[in-house]
Amino acid sequence: MILDLKKLKLRSVNEILQNIDRKKNKRDFVILNPEGNHAICAGLTDNIDVTIKGHVGYYCAGMNQNANIIVDGNVGTGIAENMMSGKVHVKGNASQSAGATAHGGTLIIDGDASSRCGISMKGIDIIVKGSVGHMSAFMAQSGNLVVCGNAGEALGDSLYETEIYVKGKVKSLGADCEEKKMSKKHKTKLKGLLKKAGSNIKPEKFKRYGSARKLYNFNIDNVSDY
């Protein structure tokens, strides 16, 4: 089904996608002329396929559940924010806060992601084929962030239990983030994550980063770290 934003209002397009008629069994949608509109495909809950032909603005695919969404272009701030499940695939670059606070699902970015990629992520898998900006995975709680390029300053600042894998250079690590050993278990997991994104890069080319676990609770011996 074709949904043309030159002919339909954004509210109408989102309402169609949010209220799927299961009896008609429509599952494939193409959105034309997005032209940087904000909050396209927000709040979807059904197992449907949506392809957006062009660039989108802020908070595309926010709160997504179950839907498989492809953006054939670049995305603005907060792509897949608070996503619960499903898959979002960005064919271009992403602005800041990609995958912010997301609890589950998979976010794939073919290009670069700006600052704070994966901020406060809570279970999502994020695979960035390019590089990420500063403060990525800030206060990230769980899930996996895979970066096939480089990472900016303060990677993993105030990190909890998210696993971070970076192939390129890391400009600096944030508070309580440290390089960790890459075990066979981690290589196997990373191989699966890269396969999700259609990448055949070998896991051995990556370094793993995680929490030093010194900031979980106040400890007078670590007072200078707070």
pLDDT in tens, the chain (226 residues): 999 999 999 999 999 999 988 777 778 999 999 999 999 999 999 999 999 999 999 999 999 999 999 999 999 999 999 999 999 999 999 999 999 999 999 999 999 999 999 999 999 999 999 999 999 999 999 999 999 999 999 999 999 999 999 999 999 999 999 999 999 999 999 999 999 999 999 999 999 999 998 876 656 565 566 5
pTM of structure: 0.94
In this predicted structure, what is the pLDDT of residue 224?
63
What is the spatial distance between Cα 137 and Cα 89, in angstroms, rounded to a whole number?
19
In this predicted structure, what is the pLDDT of residue 221?
65
In this predicted structure, what is the pLDDT of residue 24?
75
Domains within the chain, CATH numbers bracketed: 2-225 (2.160.20.60)
3-state SS of the chain is CEEECCCCCHHHHHHHHHCCCCCCCCCEEEEECCCCCCCCCCCCCCCCEEEEECCCCCCCCCCCCCCEEEECCCECCCCCCCCCCCEEEECCCECCCCCCCCCCCEEEECCCECCCCCCCCEEEEEEECCCECCCCCCCCCEEEEEECCCECCCECCCCCCCEEEECCCECCECCCEEEECCCHHHHHHHHHHHHHCCCCCCHHHCEEEEECCCCCCCCHHHHHHC
Residue 25 CA: distances (Å) to CA of 20, 162, 170: 8, 38, 47
What region does 220 belong to: left with phi over 0, alpha with psi -120 to 50, or beta?
A: alpha
In this predicted structure, what is the pLDDT of residue 220?
56
